[in-house]
Structure formats: C-alpha cells, structure tokens
Amino acid sequence: MGEAGADPRGCHQFLEDVGCGGLQYVEDVQRVYMAKVRLEIVPWLTRAFGKQGLGRLVLEHEIEDGEILGRLLRDLAVQYEEFGEVAFDKSLKKSSGVVNVGLNNRIIEWEQEWTIQVRDGDTVIIMPAYVGG
C-alpha cells in the first residue's frame, strides 16, 4: 500500500473482476489521473481561440496528468482550428515556428515538445514567436 501505481482498494493488477466498483485491471495499464492546467494566451493569438478584444485570455483545461506538451498543443489545434492553422505546418506535420510556448515561466523549444510532461497546476503560456536581435 502507498506505493506509486498501487491500487488503493487492493485489487489485483491482472484482468479479474474483484468487485472493486466493477472495475477490471490489466497488467501494465496505468491509471489515468486527470489534471487541470492554466492556459494563458497572449493577444493576437486570442482571436485564434475565439476571443474578441485586446486582453490576455486565460482558460482552464483538463488533461491527463503527465500528458506530453506536444499532445496538449495538438489537441488544442484540433479544438481551436484557427490556432492549429497558425501554430502548425500541416504539410510538414510540425510546428510553424510562429508561436512560442512557455511552461511555468520557462520558454520551451519546439523540439522539446514531445519530451516534456504537463502536470496538475502547471501554467502553459501560448504567445507569438519573437525573432530578431
């Protein structure tokens, strides 16, 4: 008991209905814990999320705890089509380089999007890319 991944009800980790709320467990399947993250979208990108006006848009978004940042961004691109058109180059199937993403006050390189996990309580900031010197 108390170990990471342990079943708090004492159910076995193999396929067997043991009366734990009718749930069945399969070996090597991890439980899905939901997490809430704060999304902050900086103006000019707010329109891509359906907001009119000049202010910053703040949303709460539910994800699987530990979800990969790139998956979250791609899910947002599907949910908010205009954001997807700005943020991703569909022909190359990668980011367009027009948008920067910050996680907990740290800018994330687009190459790292598939290695960084997002956790409950994290803040993801979506902003225009800044270039130049």
Per-residue pLDDT tens for 78-128? Answer: 899 999 888 887 765 667 778 899 999 999 987 788 889 999 999 999 998
Beta strand pairing status for 34-41 and 123-128? parallel
pTM exceeds cut of 0.85: no
Per-residue pLDDT tens for 25-80? Answer: 444 455 678 999 999 999 889 999 988 877 899 999 999 999 999 899 989 988 99
pLDDT at 95: 77
CATH of region 34-128, choose from 3.10.20.30, 3.90.1150.10, 3.40.1280.10, 2.40.50.140: 3.10.20.30
Nearest to 128 by CA among 39, 46, 38, 37: 46
pLDDT at 1: 40
Nearest to 113 by CA among 45, 64, 67, 55: 67
User: What are residue 70's phi and psi, to 5 degrees?
Assistant: -60, -40
Query: Domain locations in the chain?
Result: 1-31, 34-128
Under the banding of pLDDT at 50, 70 and 90, the label for residue 8 is: very low
78 - beta bridge partners? none
